[in-house]
Amino acid sequence: MAKLTAEKLLAELAQKKIAPVYLLTGEDLFRKQEVIKKIREVLQPDDFNFYSSSAEKANLGEVLAMANTAPVFSSARMLVLTGIEKLRKEPKVALLNYVSNPLPTTTLVLTHNDAKKMKTEKALAEACAANGRVADYAELKQAELNVWVKNRLAARGLTGDFDAVDLLCQSVGSELAAAENEIEKLYLYTLERQSKKITKDDVLACIGFSKEENPYELANAILACNKNKAVKLVDKLLDDGEEPVAILAKMTYPIEKMARIKRMSEGGMASGEILHAAGLFPWESRLISAARNYPSQKQFLAAMNKMIDADAGFKSGSASDPKLVLKGILLTLFR
């Protein structure tokens, strides 16, 4: 069964090896889009032989008809269907039938963005693996994120000391698109500079913090379960003009980290196992010791549901009062 790591899939594409079916799972949309772009670069389909749509908007019958049709004046056809977890039962059966016997001249790329639902898609995953490639793109853990950032810096001819890379990772969390944007800013910031080594001060300057500010302050208050301080910091950040969605990102990272640690701790895992599984650094073992003081799983779940609603509200412009929304998340978490 041809199930690959994300790195091995990129290595295959670098050798211009193409499969008729790709199933990209996990919730890291940024790396999936990069792989889709790489597949397209290898195949180089013209506009007549390329199609891309979200699964919920596509007519699956028409998509599969295209998949079963030889390319027009070309050697390859490429079809991309994103978010197939939203397909209903009957369309999924039709999709399963196709990937079980795909047309060799068509490359069908599928993305599945819900890790929980993916557990019930065993037949589809096995068919895609048997006749193509399956690769998982889970959100990067902290240590993995640091490596990813170092590699992206290196691709631009930059190096970063430990504090600089750690600060950048802590500031953007698992949002790789935001990390990529900050790395591009660092590249431009050092364009006329002889030294290409990125320091903590460079990161602070590009992200917009002064040397006196502590970009970890809100995250640290949440990790310390200091509700009053966290609420005051939200007020201050909003009053200083920071975007609500950026503040939400600062809150999301530590809350998700605490929830993972709490769940593993209550599950009876040893501290060393939690340290590795949660992607923590050795000096973060103190967070594991503090897990007994963290909110309950019910409180974490309620806060995360509010965070999802807040993210949608901020991005659509439908959220009423950002202060009430953001502080409501904290009060739900620490009630």
Are 253 and 173 in contact, with CB atoms under 8 Å apart? yes
Instruction: Name the strand (E) or helix (H) holding 106.
Output: strand 106-111
Tens of pLDDT, residues 217-252: 888 889 889 999 999 999 988 888 888 888 898 899
**Quick check: 251 and 229 in contact, CB under 8 A?**
no
Q: According to the CATH classification, is domain 216-335 in 3.40.50.2300?
A: no
Which residue, 62, 63, 61, is CA-closest to 90?
A: 61
Residues whose CB falls within 8 Å of the CB of residue 175, separated by 6 or more in sequence, listed in order = 30, 249
pLDDT single digits (tens) 128-182: 999 999 999 988 887 888 899 999 999 999 999 888 888 888 777 777 887 888 8
Q: How far is C-alpha 298 from the chain's CA centre?
A: 24
The predicted pLDDT at position 210 comes to 47
pLDDT at 283 exceeding the cut of 70 = no
Return the CATH number of 3-136, one of 1.10.3720.10, 2.40.160.40, 3.40.47.10, 3.40.50.300: 3.40.50.300
> In CATH, which of 1.10.3720.10, 3.90.180.10, 3.10.129.10, 1.10.8.60 is domain 140-214?
1.10.8.60
**Residue 78 CB contacts under 8 Å (≥ 6 apart), including other chains:** 39, 40, 43, 45, 49, 50, 51, 106, 107, 109
Distance of CA 292 to the CA centre of its chain: 28
pLDDT at 212: 44
Better-scored residue on pLDDT, 274 or 207: 274
99 or 280: which carries more pLDDT confidence?
99
Pair 77, 69: CB distance under 8 Å: yes
